[in-house]
Structure 1
């Protein structure tokens, strides 16, 4: 394809008409209105007005009070529209003279001239060009049970979408497959094909269309021995929307395998022992952080601090571990565990270093979100959270953490689904997310559910455990259990009357929630 500058409105309108008659878009009036709006604005010379807010209000019929920081609906539909256009131009629209393209980072559509490429070339893979110890994941084409071209190409687009989303994890190298000619070769022996590419993992799967339903299966294999590490399956009626179905399977699968909580990171000792040992200090630092987040104990917390400090000294250019160390220093303030003088200042320093090394470090943006919470700057906290989420919404552990901070900042509607979704997708989500869910349900005055999440923290060595349980029991009318937990609180935090009065409003910026918690503790017997 060659990009040509096309200024004629007739061609733009004509190509819009072609696209809107595409079978996928006919079933999605929302995406059709989205595309119609941005093309009309461009034709009328108002492309400068194609902003997220204007799309939401004028095309998606959101109210005038729409806030793009609170609602990602435009970004979600923009991603779906881009995928629908890609699928159209490799199926029904492959012979069109022009094509409509929406570059990432913008909502302004471009009309470009389409030149047919030579499909007779030999197959090739996009090999990762980095030589570090990142795991390498090869994504092979999905098998389709249908001979229909559109359904075969849907399978192809699905594998490409998995490749695109997995590549958002900066500590994973992906090999993207782009040619159908290699399919027979892979079918002979998928494990050998993976080894030829030096892959540590293989992602493959199948798509089956029957009786108005689609069944999608995605597998993660260990390339060294073919062991199936994970299988995700979805079976839905096609009328649910193919793009929505695709989003669901991609998000669920990538969320389970990516990041330092995912199967890829934790399987490296078996999948690629040489790579794991070559990066041992760095991996030890990340694993120490993971172990603390997964299960709280004072020992796990202090061990995480120690190994991260060691890692930062030996790998001073690792933005990930710098941000982790900054975050854990801030956590020490809330846990009343002192590990360094001036922890807030130390966290600011390490976070600034992380962003200088890598301005797109998602973990650095997560720590910034927490820093703004400590500063009680709720607006900047929300902005940093949105920046963090935009980098990779499929990293469930980070989205969980961001959701926790947002709930603490008083953004209950925004934070709750992030925490709940992470808790549903990952069995190893951070322990304190349970505390955030407890905060949410105390705020909603659903105390039985709040107690459920307080008990799920399983963090008996921190004063937060008896504190939250005492509050829940008090509002449930169970005074004896409330007093028992108050006694535990005083043993774990002897100066609780002074510290709790300071810590609660520092962490929980919703005055309503903070006052509600403090009132319960005072009524149980905590004398401020």
Structure 2
């Protein structure tokens, strides 16, 4: 049974452990909470490892025993080749982290699963919070602190935050004695979220301001390309702290601050993002709501999502600022994060030239940082673009599609809940004719981060290609509304969706809003839209540009249609437009042969 001995040291203090009954009560509370939204088998996994630990059998908790006793694998289960335990453990860790940042923020007992194993850790929250943090006032003597070590760019968030908690908070608390060492900014962009300030008149406003800070932090933290300082760090930043001081002491390049002003029926939330080095305001937005129409918690969630999407998403405010900051560097000198920024720039243009440069950059970054999950996910997408777009193909084995699949699976092994890795695996599976499995993974990724417009648009595109054009269009329109900076790509894909739904005038209006001149398929979509509207000069111009960029495309028409998982009736519709545009299609395509040239009726 669980005893009361100290099992770990925390800043020189013994951790007090909760009793077995307290742990079981917390487990029941946790699994019953609607905020702890995970599949039943993940809850079964959690209950199994908790009960085994409480029964004194923690040594038995290995991948093999979990696989056979929780996930019903047989005695031949091989954890190296079947990653189910690693994937579910990653999902469970992140779900626990989210729960204790939101609904479980006041729970007296916490359950966590440290990385490197599956044995859970039980803590009394009071004991866990008491040790490492110095109070904001009075200030500690910073002269007695050890000098900070240079931070390696790719250290995990836990190591970074440990350094911050030990050094940064003391510096921010206002000590004037002794030297004030600075913390060097990491390569990955770091964001500090200061507590939202209550400027309202109603009693609920203070609670709302605190809750909004927590919710924004939780939403922004879902974007893996960004390092968000932890809640303890955020809470200990003094009100009105200077952004430049936060940069010097915590290494946070960006600072998000906000205020809440509530009256009897009206609520205004204002947020702004600062470049901490220069003090420049990069973004500012106000959100007005009527408390007679919507409740505080609904408004809180909505505002938090809008703020997170605006500042943290791919192509968002921080991405654009980082792109300007790093874009002038030569490719050979870019580190892994800068390569990630170049990847998103490539995704806005989809040109063969930028594809080759970004692929080479990320391959060097992955070789130097083999544990960089996002880098492998991005490489997977770039390898896939060799196959589906014909960009910079490499001869020999393994083929581009195999390299894409391998890189995606490697990213998943490194970080099973990484949204970009899940997106890459979704795309690789889709283009290897496994659409059902691909879309299932895509839905799982969206559940992890519904704010990620890159992911929403990709899932919407694939939904359409399997015939769910209306659902795909809705996802793409959601991405466009949240992320107008990437509108060329969204308008181009939406034009294709409108064409497939025979909304040719709408398709024309959308394709005219896109400008993807270096992307071959953009010209194909434009040509078939114009052809259906009998706009012959425009169709001819688009046709000529497409054939210039991909002259051999129609030699492999059946393969191109098949690998994109089009339904026969949709393949016939594409062929119809292509013939009207004058493209060199076969006399009769496979889909037309199967259905006599007449699309099946539904």
Q: TM-score, normalised by structure 2?
A: 0.64
Question: What residue number does 1:391 align with?
Answer: 448
Change (3 A) 1:505 1:4: same
1:208, distance to aligned residue in structure 2 (A): 1.2
The alpha carbon displacement at 1:326 in A equals: 1.5
Q: In the aligned structure 1, how far is the partner of 2:231 from the partner of 2:338?
A: 32
Task: Report the equivalent of 1:143.
Answer: 197
Instruction: Report what 1:290 is aligned to.
Output: 344
In structure 1, the partner of 2:53 is none
Task: Choose from 195, 204, 209 the match for 2:262.
Answer: 209
Q: Check conservation: 1:442, 1:513, Cα contact below 8 A.
A: no
- 2:568 equivalent among 486, 511, 515: 511
Task: Determine whether 1:500 maps to 2:557.
Answer: yes
Are residues 1:153 and 2:207 paired?
A: yes
Q: Any gaps of 5 or more consecutive residues in structure 1?
A: 10-14, 16-31, 36-46, 48-78, 90-97, 105-112
Residue 289 of structure 1: how far off its partner (Å): 1.6
Structure 1 match to 2:302: 248
The 3 A distance-change label for structure 1 pair 285 and 188 is closer
Q: What SS does the corresponding residue of 1:186 show, helix, strand or coil?
A: coil
Corresponding residue for residue 153 of structure 2: none
Question: How far off is 1:156 after superposition?
Answer: 0.7
Preserved contact between residue 403 and residue 418 of structure 1 (Cα < 8 Å): yes
Displacement of 1:430 in angstroms is: 7.6
SS at match of 2:161: coil
Secondary structure at 2:162 match in 1: coil
Matches within 5 A, 1:389-468: 389-429=446-486, 431-468=488-525
Distance 1:278 1:469 in 2: 37
Secondary structure (helix, strand or coil) at the match of 1:376 reads: coil
Contact kept? 1:123, 1:179, Cα under 8 Å: no
> 1:165 aligned to 2:198?
no
Retained in 1: the 8 A contact 2:193–2:234?
A: no
- What is the distance in 2 between the residues matched to 1:163 and 1:279? 32
Offset, 1:292: 1.4
Q: TM-score, normalised by structure 1?
A: 0.72
RMSD of aligned C-alpha atoms? 4.5
| Aligned positions of 1:124-273 closer than 5 A | 128-129=161-162, 133-177=187-231, 185-187=238-240, 189=242, 191-193=244-246, 195-238=248-291, 239-268=293-322
- Given that 2:463 and 2:471 are in contact with CA atoms closer than 8 Å, whether structure 1 keeps it comes out as yes
Map of 1:522 onto structure 2: 579
Paired position in structure 2 for 1:68: none
Alpha-carbon offset, residue 422 of structure 1 = 2.0
What is the CA-CA distance between 1:147 and the residue it aligns to?
4.4
Alpha-carbon distance in 1 for matches of 2:456, 2:246: 34
Aligned length in residues: 452
CA distance in 1, matches of 2:523, 2:323: 38
Return the alpha-carbon distance in structure 2 between the equivalents of residues 476 and 247 of structure 1.
Answer: 44
CA distance in 1, matches of 2:472, 2:403: 27
Aligned partners of 2:243 and 2:548: how far apart in 1?
59
- Is the alpha carbon distance of 1:174 and 1:493 closer, same or farther for their aligned partners in structure 2, counting shifts above 3 Å? closer
Unaligned runs of 5+ residues in structure 2 are 1-16, 36-46, 48-96, 114-123, 138-157, 164-183, 587-602
Distance 1:234 1:225 in 2: 26
- Residue 423 of structure 1 and its aligned partner are, at CA, apart by 1.9
Residue matched to 1:301: 355
Hey, what's the Cα distance between the residues in 2 that align with 1:353 and 1:181? Answer: 36
**2:375 matches 1:321:** yes
String of CA shifts for 1:159-181, please: whole Å, max 9, x gaps: 11111222223343323445998
Q: What is the CA-CA distance between 1:211 and the residue it aligns to?
A: 4.7
Q: Give the drift of 1:335.
A: 1.6
Counterpart CA distance in 1 for 2:18 and 2:401 is 52
> CA shift at 1:461, angstroms?
3.3
